[in-house]
Amino acid sequence: MLRKLLNWLGVTKATGYAWLKRWNSRGYEGIIPEFGGGRPFKLTEEQKEELYRNAQGKRMDNEGSSGSH
C-alpha cells in the first residue's frame, strides 16, 4: 500500500519513509516543509519590493500584446 502511494505521489521510498518517521514522531507539524537553508538574499527589502513592482508593471504592459516584439 505504501509503495503505491509513494508512486502516486512521485517520491522515492527513502523520502516516503522519512516523511513517515517525521509523522510518527511529530504528527502534522513533522510533515510541514522546513525551508531554512540556502544562500541569504543579496537584495534589500526595498530592492525586492521595487523588483516586484517593476515585474508587475511589465506583466500589465504586456497584456493584450500580439506576441510580436
pLDDT value at residue 60:
52
Whole-angstrom Cα distance, residue 60 to residue 53? 11
- Spell out the residues 6+ positions from residue 6 whose beta carbon is closer than 8 angstroms to its own: 12, 13, 15, 16
Cα 57 to chain centroid, rounded:
24
Whole-angstrom Cα distance, residue 40 to residue 66? 39
H helical segments located in the chain: 2-9, 13-26, 28-31, 45-62
Query: How confident is the model over 2-45, as pLDDT tens digits?
Result: 889 899 989 999 999 999 999 999 998 888 887 777 888 788 99
